[in-house]
Amino acid sequence: MKTALIKNLHRHVGEQVTVQGWVYNQRSSGKITFIILRDGSGLMQGVVVKQEVGEALFAEARKLTQESAVKVTGIVREEPRSVGGHEMQVTDMEIVSLAEEYPITHKEHGVDFLAEHRHLWIRTPRQAAVLRIRSEIEHALRNFFYERDFVLADAPIITPAACEGTTNLFEIDYHGEKGYLSQSGQLYNEANAMALGRIYCFGPTFRAEKSKTRRHLLEFWMIEAEMAYFDLDANMELQEEMIHYVIQRVLAKCTNELNVLERDVEKLKAIKLPFPRISYTDAVELLKQAGEDFTWGDDFGAPHETIISSHFNAPVFVHRYPTAIKAFYMKPDPNDANVVLGADLLAPEGYGEIIGGGQRIDDLALLEQRIAEHKLPQEAFEWYLDLRRYGSVPHSGFGLGLERTVAWLCGLEHIRETIPFPRMLHKMYP
């Protein structure tokens, strides 16, 4: 028997196929049973009519509990009123396993309960839609770089030095030596870019964040690109092209999922190139105009980012931040050493920073000085300094936080729904 995915049922109208899945819901009258089946790709209604399938099979169908595993065979027909737009007239059925009483029912549950049952929560249509969109975004990002001749160069997870400051490092015991879980692949990206030109890495990164917010995870995925001979402007152009590319892909491929999430897609469709750009100094002016008591030199908090981005209906680049609040490797602006050639991309609708990036210091002496100023151990960075000793060139790169991007494109309140198993403060089960 031919098996089919629910999302592809439109290709099988009038045919007999088997769908392999789980019972999402079931209701029965004396003569007819409706099974809502999910298979990970969508929902489908199966109709079991006693007169057609006989007493025995009908009795089996009535036994089905929520989340029982089942293979259902039948004829596919169009049914606009039915979930997913198709229905199956069931002719045969095989129970693979009958589920015990399922903890997640169709009534509302508190978020703590759902988080404790994340391994089951991901089966619900809403969560599954988010995870499918996440997958599409990851594929789109990889395609984007592949089409532009970038080399995928994976960065290590275990590192001997900090990239993004020492306050949120996860320390590990590397057989007696101190090691850290990577906060960013950037430093290795820079080495790989000097070897391969244009590269990216895509992997998990770790930050021992000590605060609970709706934007922070302790383990998150970052796609990080690094390009030799790119300045800050070329860097921002690549980023906006990438974001635009991903949006078009999600709009084209994830209509059903966006629908399930009730995402206002008009807001995404309205985003055009190029994205607006504003300096940190001008952004501070916007905050003051909005009545905020903000001092030049301070870092933006989430509410500040929301105020700034509310002036635009596309993502906005905020560039040239104060040197003092940015990482040690950022290149100072030759026109004003108080600011660096870095840029963050703030998503619209209050989703905050989704990309951090910039141009890197390419001068050996200045980089050595910065490492000292930031009280970082120079021995651990000797290899990184070598990149400035042997054929140093202007270069730039960036890192996109995958989960924040998923939250924005899906229109989610909280980052915990953007990854199958989120790692949050004091939460690592399951």
Question: Residues in the site for ligand 4AD, rule: CB under 6 A?
Answer: 163-164, 184, 186, 207, 209, 216-217, 220, 222, 224, 353-357, 397-399, 401, 403-404
Q: What is the DSSP letter of 406?
A: H
- Residue 401 binds Mg ion (CB under 5 A): no
Q: At what angle do helices 125-147 and 402-410 cross, to 10 degrees?
A: 120
Answer with the entry of Mg ion, ligand 4AD, none that 224 interacts with (C-beta below 5 to 8 A by kind): ligand 4AD
Q: Of 58 and 280, which CB lies nearer to Mg ion in the complex structure? A: 280
Under 8 Å CB-to-CB from 249, ≥6 apart: which residues?
A: 136, 137, 139, 140, 143
To ligand 4AD, the closest distance from the beta carbon of 109 in angstroms equals: 25
When CB distances are held under 5 to 8 angstroms depending on the partner's kind, the choice from Mg ion, ligand 4AD, none that residue 184 binds is ligand 4AD
Contact 299, 352 (CB under 8 A): no
- State the minimum distance, in angstroms, from the CB of residue 65 to ligand 4AD: 38
Whose CA is closest to 10, among 42, 39, 37, 40?
42
**Residue 271 phi, psi dihedral angles, 5° rounding:** -75, 120
SS3 83: helix
Give the one entry of Mg ion, ligand 4AD, none that residue 74 binds, where binding means its C-beta sits below a cut-off of 5 to 8 angstroms depending on kind.
Answer: none
220 binds, among ligand 4AD, Mg ion, none (CB under 5 to 8 A by kind): ligand 4AD
61 three-state secondary structure: helix
Nearer to ligand 4AD, 93 or 327 (CB): 327
What is the closest distance, in whole angstroms, from the C-beta atom of residue 397 to ligand 4AD in the complex? 5
What single letter denotes the amino acid at residue 135? S
Neighbouring CB atoms inside 10 A of 226's CB total 32
- Out of ligand 4AD, Mg ion, none, what residue 351 binds, judged by CB under 5 to 8 A for its kind, is none
Instruction: Output 132 or 216, the one with its CB closest to Mg ion.
Output: 216
User: Among residues 41 and 186, whose Cβ is nearest to Mg ion?
Assistant: 186
- Spatial contact of 390 and 190, defined as CB atoms under 8 Å apart: no
Distance CA 230, CA 360 (A): 10
Given candidates 42, 179, 348, 356, which one binds Mg ion under the rule CB under 5 A? 356
Tell me how far CA of residue 107 lies from CA of 23, 103, 104, 114, in angstroms.
16, 11, 8, 12
In the bound state with ligand 4AD, the residue whose beta carbon lies nearer, of 122 and 302, is 302
Closest approach, Cβ 122 to ligand 4AD, in A, equals: 19
User: Cα(326)–Cα(186) distance, rounded to whole angstroms?
Assistant: 14
* Residue 401 contact among Mg ion, ligand 4AD, none, beta carbon within 5 to 8 Å by kind: ligand 4AD
Q: Nearest distance from residue 35's CB to Mg ion, in Å? A: 48
Which of 278, 318, 276 is CA-nearest to residue 299? 318
Q: 49 or 115, CB closer to ligand 4AD?
A: 115
Tokens of residue 85, six digits: 């737009």
Q: Cβ closer to ligand 4AD: 202 or 398? A: 398
Residues that bind Mg ion (CB under 5 A): 356
